[in-house]
Structures are given as C-alpha cells and as structure tokens.
Amino acid sequence: MKTFPKSDMLKQLPEQFFAVLADKMENAVAEGHDVINLGQGSPDKPTPPHVIKQLEEASQQVENHKYPPFRGKKNLLNAVAEFYQREYGVDIDPDTEVAVLFGAKAGLVELPLCLMNPGEKMLVPDPGYPDYWSGPAMASVSMYKMPLLAENQFLPIYDDIPQEVREASKMLLLNYPNNPTGAMASPEFFDETIAFAEKHDLCVVHDFAYGAIGFDGNKPTSYLERPGAKDIGIEIYTMSKTYNMAGWRIAFAVGNPSVIEAINIIQDHLYCSVFGAVQDAAAEALTASQKGVDELVELYEERRNALVEGAHNIGWDIDAPEGSFFAWLKVPAGYTSASFADLLLEEAKVLVAPGIGFGEHGEGYVRAGLVMEKERILEALDRIDKLNIF
C-alpha cells in the first residue's frame, strides 16, 4: 500500500507531550499495576447536574438539530458578557468582543495563524503549556521563550528580553493562574504588561483557563480588568476547568474587536460553530448559581493542603501553589525531572509530569495535578516515602 508523505507543516509540529504521558500510564496499567495518576490535567468531577439537564432539554429542540450560527448563538454571547460584568466588572460587547471556541486549545493554536506572518516572533512563557508551541509551528513564526523563575514569582521579566526580540515580536502570550507552576499574577503585573505591549506594539493573549481557581481567599485577576487591556489584547476562558466541562469542548475569547474578528474569520472557514445544545448548556453554566464553582475551589484547596502538608511530612520541600489545580514540585538532588518522574512511575507507580516537557526552564521540577481524591494523593506520598529519597 502506498504511503503518502506528511506535509512540511506537520513534520515541524512538536511532539504531543501529553500523548506520551498517556502512553506511559496505559502501559503501566496494562501490566496490571495500580497507578496513581497525578500527571493528568483533566478535572475528575462531573459536570454540574443543572448544566447536564440544560443540555438534555436543549438537545430536544429542533432548532439545535440544524447548523448553528457561524459565530455562536446569541444567548451564549450574551451570557459571556453577563459573566464578565458579574465576575470582573468588565463591559463586553457580545456582538463584537466575543468569539466562541472549540475549547481554549483551538483558540490558542489559531491565534498565530490569525495575526502573524511567517518569520515574525512570538513571546511565550517557559515553562508553559506545551500546546502553546503548536500555533507558532503551524504559522511558521519563531518563539522567544520568556523564563518563569521561582525567584521572580514565576513572572516574566520584560527588561530581560533583548531589544531586537522586542522589535521583532508581534504577540505576547501569558497564563495566570499558571500551568504548570500554580503562580498567580497581580494587577500591577498586568499593568506593567499593558505598558510593555503598548510600547512595542504587541497583541497580548491571556490564557485564563484556571480563572476561577485561586486559593487562600485570593480571586485570580482577569487581564481585562486592568485599564487599557482590551485596547491591545484578549483573554481566553474555557468552560473545562470552572465547570468540569472538559469533554464538551467549548470556550470563548473576549476582548479587542479586531482580534475577535480575526478569530471568527478563520473559524468561519474551519467550523460551523459548536453544537447548539452545548452552547445552551454553557450559557446556563455561566449565568446560573455559581455555588458549585465555590465548592470546587474549596475541594482543590483541601487537596492542595493535603499534598503540601503530606510532602513536608516526608521531607519533600515544596511550595504551595497559589492557584490552578496543579502543584510544581522540586526534584530532589541527583535527578533530572525526567529521571525522577520515571523513578516514581517504575518504583512507586505514581505518574507525574516531568518539568522538561513544559520547556527548558521546567527542568528541576515535576507537575502534580490536584484532580485526584485526597486519599489517593496521600497514598501517592506514602508510596514515595517508601523509596527513601528524602
């Protein structure tokens, strides 16, 4: 049978980091092992019942059996505007400042294709979500990876970016609460970002995937809350984490109308919007009671506290994440992030994500998810303690 060669674009795509992790997990389970999976980033709780009920009812509506509007149903666009006004005091025009996405990942990958030309440069965080690298590869643009270091609270230092890089860059990508570090950004940092972007004519893209998840009573700041933010950028918000709707594949971008229009144009050619019943359910999630969201954040904080306290009890010196549902754990001396992750999987049957998979500056750490029952998190620490590493 003839084998057709892949396109040059496909050949230059980065390896799918999470697919490799999933393979390791599946292989260990296939061998009969009880693996505690702290490497995943998918919520473990179900979607709230009232959202599921709305989907069931909406799926019976004949109107939803037809093609949905290309740029999203009006009720969802209005719900997004209502959500941003209620949660962040931000005015959003539902007609020109909202784009419905097939999950946040799709929007993040599309943006370099929408706004950049081959040879231009994009500023991305390091460590960062590995799929941030896919869009630049597809658009044939280069990346400058901004180091996120513990001594800088895992925030980029703009003064350290070389002048020639600033001049060549067209887009700046940020993500707070941060995956993988769990760091949060202050309002002052976003103000600094806006000033930097205005000076260098950058489009700011803030991935607000974990926007609902802040600990110790601290609510994460929306980039769009800050004066001038909408003039030069957008924010991407997913339903996956806040409402446990990861498999539903729905998110939205909000902010600068020209960027929203660019997203809508490319999606006009790629899709015919999200199934209408899913849009109706998303609107219900955004506008109904948020009690379930508060309870979810409390659950993640309880798990975080158990992880941090349990790690300290076995002699593992780790810092508590400020937000997201991830913890960024220091690797003990004598190991790389990959060798330590392999040791935990092989000897303790605990899966974590090696930091090097998130970028060069992820070396020295592993990422653990809080999307596992507290008892399993404590069991994982007990297994690790038996290795006598600490």
What topology does CATH give the domain 8-46+291-385? Answer: Aspartate Aminotransferase, domain 1 (3.90.1150)
Q: What is the model's pLDDT at position 26?
A: 82
What topology does CATH give the domain 49-287? Answer: Aspartate Aminotransferase; domain 2 (3.40.640)
Q: How far apart are the first and last CA of the chain?
A: 55
- Who contacts 328 (Cβ-Cβ below 8 Å, separation ≥6)? 154, 180, 181, 182, 318, 319, 321, 355, 365, 367
Can you tell me the distance from the alpha carbon of 193 to that of 159, in angstroms, rounded to the nearest whole number?
11
pLDDT (tens digit per residue) in 44-78: 999 999 999 999 999 999 999 999 999 999 999 99
Q: At residue 74, what are phi and psi to the nearest 5 degrees?
A: -60, -40
Packing angle of the helix pair 74-88, 276-287 (nearest 10 deg)? 20
Q: At residue 124, what are phi and psi to the nearest 5 degrees?
A: -130, 155
Q: What is the model's pLDDT at position 14?
A: 85
Q: What is the model's pLDDT at position 116?
A: 96
For residue 366, give the H/E element and its range.
strand 365-369
Q: What is the chain's mean pLDDT, rounded? A: 96
Q: Are 351 and 37 in contact (CB under 8 A)?
A: yes
β partners of residue 253: 99, 236
What residues of the chain score a pLDDT lower than 70? none
Q: Using CA of residue 198, residue 200, residue 205, residue 206, what is the dihedral sign?
A: negative
Q: What is the model's pLDDT at position 265?
A: 97
pLDDT (tens digit per residue) in 185-230: 999 999 999 999 999 999 999 999 999 999 999 999 999 999 999 9
> Collapsing DSSP states into helix, strand and coil, what is residue 162?
coil
For tokens 């419905």, the residue is 100
Residue type, 82: E
Domains of the chain, residue spans = 8-46+291-385, 49-287
To the question of pTM greater than 0.85 for the whole model, the response is yes
Residue type, 298: E
Q: What is the model's pLDDT at position 269?
A: 94
Can you tell me the distance from the alpha carbon of 102 to that of 282, in angstroms, rounded to the nearest whole number?
12
Can you tell me the distance from the alpha carbon of 237 to that of 251, in angstroms, rounded to the nearest whole number?
6
* Count of C-beta atoms within a 10 Å radius of residue 61: 12
Q: What is the model's pLDDT at position 98?
A: 98
